[in-house]
Amino acid sequence: MSAKNIKPQDMGKPSEQLCKIENLMPLPAPYDKPGMEPDFKEIKEDWKKNYCATLDGFVANDALKRPETKEEEEEMIKKFLNGMEKLFLEDTNRGMLQPFMLSFEYCAKCNTCSEACHVFKSSGEAEIYRPIFRSEVLRKLYKKHKQGGSLVSRFVGGDIDINIETIMRLGELAYRCNLCRRCAQTCPLGLDNGILAREIRKIFSMEMGIAPKPLHESGTIKQLTTGSSTGITKEAFLDMIEFMEEDIYEMTGKKYKVPVDKKGADILLIHNAGEYMAWPENPAAFTIIMEEAGLDWTLSSEMIGYDNVNYGIFYDDVQGRKIGAAQLKAAKELGVRRIVIAECGHAHKASMVSQDRIMTGEDNIPRESFLPLLEGLIKKKVFKLDPSRNNFPVTLHDPCNIVRMMGIVKPQREILKAIAPQFREMTPHGVNNYCCGGGSGFAIMNSFNFTDFRNKVSSRMKFKQILDAFQDTIEDAEIPKYVCAPCSNCKGAIRDILEFYQATAKFNVHYGGLVELVVNAMVDIEKPFLEFLRDEEDMMF
């Protein structure tokens, strides 16, 4: 079936693959030439057999296994329907009932939101990625479930097959949305297809125990048992901090003692623990900034206190709440005055917004973003900065969670204006930005061929924006270009697209956080802090 002619009712119709992506959105130069973009990889037979590859040929949900017997199949359908009912109950969905019901009930199917969705547009407008497609499947399933196959049911739209294929495909389709909520900004009725995608994920996770392993098994479950979704334990964390101190010394000649578990400190700084492993220069840059500014700060080595990650907000309310509460507990035990969230977008939202209503009184320790703090330090001229050290094209990616969902728009721009003379915006930017394509967990979901979907579809719009922002210099490989992404997950997604399209190798496009750029501009630090500006013998991290 053509990717454009599919209807929500087709979800239950047997076919080897409901949709095949055919007309990907073209990319700007130099990626407008043939051969510049790797093809999709073939899907393996045993993936098809054991998982759900019948939606679009990708498998995102590596915990969603095909039932082997008729009984298992029936059990799975039953559980799904039970879970779906629980979305509508006060006892089981108190925290989201009102926003969910509004979006469930009122959609006028005007399609205004489709134009806003980068997944839909990037895929060449494949119907299954239209924001209302999955919402409509859920509506139809609920109406059919409640009213059976009656005429009334069909009249109100309950015309879909409730079978294993519909449910498996929906379990996959819930992971073709980045929950970026750009579509909701355009809805004349204020409705949100992102929330419906998330609620579908909740049915699978909270009722059926099915969620992609990187989010659940090696995500929240691991974080709640070891302290971090990376698996870093307290001991490993303390070792890493020591290594980081040594690295900073070798690189800058400056000896800093990173404060850990300092009782009563003003600030508890919490990083995404993935930074220590993938981008240690980021916590190192934070260390330099906090120490040079003479702030009273600390890291925590307590359970979950050293990892601000909270994947629960992507798929499971209960996991989200447990992690949020554990982070606040770690801060309370240290007796700090406030928590500052480092460069991680979803952690910003999880900690400051999503978990804002789970604590009261003394347990509710104030949380803030590192951005206003850093902006204040730069405005007060606490550091001696030389912007000419960053004299190359720099563009800024706005993490959806920090910008569209929290309204932190200006501080990062004020900082960049002070330190990056060739800073230029992406189009569009600020609250109208496009997601990096790694949102809602995609950045860490690398099972099977899902990375192809991310790199070629969900991150495509971001890659286009990056190329557009650097059009003046993109083909000049002598000039380094820097995508500043102050968020771990966004950085992960951008790292992958730059690798996938070989944009670093061919066109000298780099990526990294914001604090690294600030430290790179510090006059007191002799050698360049950014790796791509360093000579080989200076390489450290």
Partner 1 sequence: MFLTLFTYFSILAFIGLSLLKAYEYARMPMHGRWELYPVPKEGDGRGHYGGSYYEEYEWWNKPRKVTHAGEIVDMLKEMLFIKNLFINQRRQWWVCYSLHLGIYVLFVWTFMLFVGAVTELSGTPVAATAGVWGSLVYYVTFLAGAAGAVLLTVGAGGMFLKRMSDSTLSRYTTPQEYFNLLFLFAVAVSGLVVWSGDPGFNYGREIMMALLTFSPIQADTALTIHIILLGAVMIYIPQTKMSHYVGKYFAFHKVLWENEPNLKNSYMEEIVRDALSYKPKTGTTWSAPHINPGSASKK
Residues that bind ligand SF4 (CB under 6 A): 107-113, 116-117, 119, 131-132, 177-183, 187, 189, 191, 193-194, 197
Contact partner, 245, from partner 1, ligand SF4, none, Cβ < 5-8 Å per class? none
Contact partner, 208, from ligand SF4, partner 1, none, Cβ < 5-8 Å per class? partner 1
Residues in region 447-486 near partner 1 by CB under 8 A: none
Name the phi and psi angles at 119, rounded to 5: -70, -45
Contact partner, 78, from ligand SF4, partner 1, none, Cβ < 5-8 Å per class? none
Strand intervals (E) in 165-304 = 267-270, 297-298
13: contact with partner 1 by CB under 8 A = no
Residues in region 368-397 near partner 1 by CB under 8 A: 368-369, 371-373, 375-376
Q: Determine the interface stretch with partner 1 among 22-30, 205-213, 271-279, 280-288 (rule: CB under 8 A).
A: 205-213
- Determine if the peptide bond prior to 428 is cis (ω within 30°): yes
Residue keyed to tokens 């139809």: 140
Output 127 or 261, the one with its CB closest to partner 1. Answer: 127
154: contact with partner 1 by CB under 8 A = yes
Q: Which pair of tokens denotes residue 338?
A: 């406030």
DSSP 380-438: TT-S-B-GGGG-S-EEE---TTTTTTT---HHHHHHHHHH-TTEE--SS-GGGPPP-S-
Residues in region 160-199 near partner 1 by CB under 8 A: 181, 184-192, 195
90: contact with partner 1 by CB under 8 A = yes
Contact partner, 519, from partner 1, ligand SF4, none, Cβ < 5-8 Å per class? none
Q: How many whole angstroms separate alpha carbon 515 and alpha carbon 531? A: 14
Contact partner, 179, from partner 1, ligand SF4, none, Cβ < 5-8 Å per class? ligand SF4
**CB 384, min distance to partner 1, A:** 21
Residues in region 305-364 near partner 1 by CB under 8 A: 317-319, 338, 352-354, 356-361, 364
Which residue(s) pair with 394 in the sheet?
423, 482
Long-range own/partner contacts, residues 291-297 (CB < 8 A, 24 or more apart): 291/256, 292/382, 292/383, 292/522, 292/524, 293/377, 293/382, 293/383, 295/266, 295/267, 296/265, 296/266, 296/267, 297/259, 297/262, 297/265, 297/266, 297/267, 297/268, 297/269, 297/340
**CB 57, min distance to partner 1, A:** 22
Contact partner, 82, from ligand SF4, partner 1, none, Cβ < 5-8 Å per class? partner 1
Contact track, partner 1, 423-452, x by CB under 8 A: -------xxx--------------------
Q: How many whole angstroms separate alpha carbon 439 and alpha carbon 353? A: 17
Contact partner, 193, from ligand SF4, partner 1, none, Cβ < 5-8 Å per class? ligand SF4
Interface with partner 1: number of residues (CB under 8 A): 91
Q: How many whole angstroms separate alpha carbon 266 and alpha carbon 261? A: 12
**CB 185, min distance to ligand SF4, A:** 9
- The CA dihedral of 67, 68, 70, 76, to the nearest 10 degrees, is -20
Q: How many whole angstroms separate alpha carbon 405 and alpha carbon 217? A: 27
Q: Which of 43, 77, 102, 382 binds partner 1 (CB under 8 A)?
A: 102
Mapped onto helix, strand or coil, the DSSP state of residue 465 is helix
Q: How many whole angstroms separate alpha carbon 319 and alpha carbon 311? A: 8
Contact partner, 177, from ligand SF4, partner 1, none, Cβ < 5-8 Å per class? ligand SF4
Q: Which amino acid is at 85?
A: E
